[in-house]
Structure 1
Amino acid sequence: MKTVKYIGILITASTLFFSCVPLNQFRELEEANTELSDKVDNLSSEKELLEGRNEELKELADRLKKQVAELTADTLKKGREVRGCRNDLQKLRTEYEDLLTQLRNQTGAGDSEELLNYLQKLQEDLQAREDALIASERDLDAREKELQEAMAKLAAAQKELETAQAELAAQNQRLLELEQALARKDSASNALRQAIADALTGFDQSQLKVHIKNGKVYVSMEEKLLFGSGSYQVSAEGASAIRQVANVLGNKKDINIMIEGHTDPVPYSSGKLLDNWDLSVKRATSVTRILLENSAIDPSRVIAAGRGSHVPLVSNDTPEGKRKNRRTEIILTPRLDQILDILETN
């Protein structure tokens, strides 16, 4: 028997009355399903980064607001000082002009000398006040400029904060929608698993198993339930079990179905079949035909595949292991259209 690993897909128009979706489409769905958890994790990480950036921007905005408040108060104080200097300077100028007028009208030498001395002192005081006024105005201009720069920084920080908050809100909404869609998918998978398990309660539970793995529902039936040794003709009991599954799937329009045949590695050949690959494919298509007796199941959602002996559940070293590995699996994959639409939209 050839040992090259492959998936045998039997789609022969003369022998099959159903169609199969391309295998790559099933693989794409499978890959998308396995990547969704990583995408949720990535979105959660991005959300944490955005939340951290939000906090940084809030702290920056608070610091800038405090700085603006301090600069505003200081600018007001400097403004009052400048106005006070101007008032004092105006008073001194007025007093100086009055004294100068008196000096011009004075006739006594003693009085004139005393008035001149006072004028000299007043002029010096006037010059000092003018110098102080110029310094205060220069300081006020610098503070006003610093205030304007701080206000510009604050406006930029607030704008960036608003943008970050909008991004965070959008990210939260995106993550919420994705988590809700995933939760609905998981809920649907659990409901489907339970419905099929309930439908198969009348069969030997040691020969079948219904479980969820990687977001897909697996209905695994051992060879003994479905086929005779080396045969691909489904037994009456096996056909009944398959029809029970078909009844559940008939109302599930958003489920893609893959039927996989599996064998043990014991070499096999017969007049019609070459090896275990052929046997696994024929068993898969035999199950598929019975499944599609339910006309509510769209054949375009169905894939029949043979895996030979290359995907064992357990070791083939024991007869018990070989028995468990000789099985047919109906793998049900919920369609991810809604989830993928959410990812593409966002």
Structure 2
Amino acid sequence: MNKLIIYAGLILALFSACVPLKQFQDVKSQGEEDAIAAKQLKNENEDLIVDNNELKAEAERLKKDVELLTQDTMRLAKSNWTLKKRNKELANEYAELLKRFGGNTTTQSSELLAHVQNLHEQLQKREDELLRAERELASKQQDLIFATEQLANAEKELEARNKRLVELEAILNEKDSAMNALRNSIASALTDFGDDELSVYTKDGKVYVSMEEKLLFQSGSYSVSSAGKSAIQKIGKVLENKTDIYIMVEGHTDNVPYKSTVLLDNWDLSVKRATSVSRIIINNSSVSPNRITAAGRGEFVPIDTDNTPEARRRNRRTEIILAPNFDKIFNILNN
């Protein structure tokens, strides 16, 4: 179930970045909706796991209660049978003694009558015990019926919840397989480019295409090079028929201060680079613009925190992040 929490987290991360002003309203609205849906997914999953654990514990407790009640019921039934048998013997003995010595007033008969009286008292006591035992047995039988019904209901609910979790797990596994296939397709389409120019990998259930600055842009520029356009176009072609994949384009810079007559800082530059890449995808494929979010991260999400030329080079990158659509999962949770 950890996968479900991971995917909820990736959706939150997917829509947390800054977007260019021209696309702000559309992205903001979509981002807020997806953030709310992702939070609901996470909370629903956590509640589902807690409820399942509680139901399992409750089912185990009810099973033990039913077992104990069954044992008590059998014990009381056996005890009642013994009491009834003994009461019958005492009643027969009492009746026989009354018959034999009812009219005799001798000392011996007085002693026998005292014995008869004692037997009568024992019989009455036994009958009282039997009555209490029968009442207790009836109560235990009612408790057993109630506990059995509770157990059946708990097991039925647990079965339904487990079925729901199995459905979610199957969808997540399907998403994993689809994302792995997508990674392989993109990697195959980009074999003309070297490892020092771009890399394709999966992380937290998403596919990342990380492209070096030297492949896409001149220093301080947001105009994509011809080699960069070729790579982006190939990625767009792979994504054309993957309509259930969300696309996030993130621009990243190093921490060296930047300013131009057009742009204010590294953040502005990273946004412009992200939108440049997004436009190439849209203009050279049938990918719908509503599937793409362009975000500028500036120097605030480095992959290497060392203050060295190599670290700064690695941080100057543009990432195309591909994430699956979770509508099926939301539908299962909402239903």
Residue 128 (structure 1) aligned to one of 114, 118, 125: 118
Relative to structure 2, which stretch is displaced further, 231-240 or 313-322? Answer: 313-322
Alignment of 1:100-111 (within 5 A): 100=103
**Is the contact between residue 199 and residue 245 of structure 1 (CA under 8 Å) also seen in structure 2?**
yes
1:222 aligned residue: 212
- Do the aligned residues in 1 keep the contact of 2:41 with 2:333 (CA within 8 Å)? no
For 1:326, the equivalent position in structure 2 comes to 316
1:81 is the counterpart of 2:86: yes
Select which of 179, 184, 188 maps to 1:198: 188
Counterpart contact for 2:267–2:298, Cα < 8 Å: yes
The answer to whether 1:70 aligns with 2:75 is yes
**Letter of the structure 2 residue corresponding to residue 275 of structure 1:** D
Task: Tell me, yes or no, if the aligned pair for 1:79 and 1:140 is still in contact at 8 Å.
Answer: yes
Number of residue equivalences: 318
What is aligned with 2:137?
147
* Bigger mean CA offset, 43-52 vs 229-238: 43-52
What percentage of residue pairs aligned between the two structures are identical?
43
Classify 1:36/1:204 alpha carbon distance in 2 versus 1 (closer, same or farther; 3 Å): farther
Alignment of 1:11 with 2:1, yes or no, is no
Aligned-pair CA distance for 1:149:
2.2
Report whether the alignment pairs 1:25 with 2:36.
no
CA distance in 2, matches of 1:38, 1:201: 41
8 Å Cα contact 2:251/2:270 also seen in 1: yes
User: Contact 1:9 / 1:304 at 8 angstroms: preserved in 2?
Assistant: yes
Cα drift, residue 25 of structure 1: 3.3
Is the 1:259–1:329 Cα contact (8 Å) retained in structure 2? yes
Are 2:325 and 1:335 equivalent residues in the alignment? yes
Q: 1:301 to 1:283 in 2, by over 3 A?
A: same
The residue aligned with 1:272 is: 262
Asked if 1:248 corresponds to 2:238, the answer is yes
How far residue 7 of structure 1 moved from its aligned partner, in angstroms, is: 2.2
Give the corresponding residue for 1:108.
Answer: none
In the alignment, the residues of structure 2 paired with residue 24 and residue 263 of structure 1 have an alpha-carbon distance, to the nearest angstrom, of: 27
Match of 1:110 in 2: none
Indicate the residue corresponding to 1:286 in structure 2: 276
SS of match in other structure, 1:136? helix
Deviation at 1:75, TM superposition (A): 0.1
In structure 2, C-alpha distance between the alignment counterparts of 1:90 and 1:50, rounded to whole Å:
58
Moved more, 210-219 or 29-38: 29-38
- CA shift in 2, pair 1:196/1:344, >3 Å: same
Residue 12 of structure 2 corresponds to none
Asked if residue 60 in structure 1 is aligned to residue 65 in structure 2, the reply is: yes
Could you tell which deviates more after superposition, 308-317 or 190-199? 308-317
CA distance in 1, matches of 2:277, 2:143: 71
What does residue 13 of structure 2 align with? none
CA distance in structure 1 between the partners assigned to 2:40 and 2:316 by the alignment? 30
Q: 1:31-46 residue pairs with structure 2 within 5 A?
A: 43-44=48-49, 46=51
Give 1:189 shift: 1.8
The amino acid that maps onto 1:90 is: A
Residue in 2 aligned with 1:180?
A: 170
Normalised by the size of structure 1, how large is the TM-score?
0.81
In structure 1, the partner of 2:11 is none
In 1, Cα distance between the equivalents of 2:127 and 2:307? 96
SS at match of 1:292: helix
Deviations 1:172-200 (A, max 9, x none): 22221222222122222222222111111
Whole-angstrom CA distance in 1 between matches of 2:126 and 2:195 = 95
Between 1:273-282 and 1:47-56, the stretch displaced more is 47-56
- Tell me which structure has the larger Cα radius of gyration: 1
Q: Secondary structure at the match of 1:330?
A: strand
When residues 331 and 31 of structure 1 are mapped into structure 2, their CA distance, relative to the original with a 3 A threshold, is farther
CA distance in 1: counterparts of 2:331 and 2:42, whole angstroms: 16
> Which one of the candidate residues 295, 300, 311 is aligned to 1:310?
300
5+ residue gaps, structure 2: 1-16
Deviation at 1:240, TM superposition (A): 0.8
The superposition leaves residues 118-174 of structure 1 with CA deviations (integer Å, 9 ceiling, x where unpaired) of 654554444333222211211111111121222222223222222322232223222
Of the structure 1 ranges 37-46 and 273-282, higher mean CA displacement relative to structure 2 is found in 37-46
* 3-state SS of paired residue (2:283): coil
Change (3 A) 1:276 1:124: closer
Q: Distance in 2 between matches of 1:265 and 1:159?
A: 66
- The answer to whether residue 47 in structure 2 is matched with residue 47 in structure 1 is no
* Distance apart, 1:71 and its partner CA: 0.7
8 Å Cα contact 2:19/2:27 also seen in 1:
no
- The CA RMSD over aligned residues, in Å, is 2.8
- Unaligned 5+ runs, structure 1: 1-5, 13-18, 101-114
Whole-Å Cα distance in 2 between the matches of residues 38 and 189 of structure 1?
Answer: 24
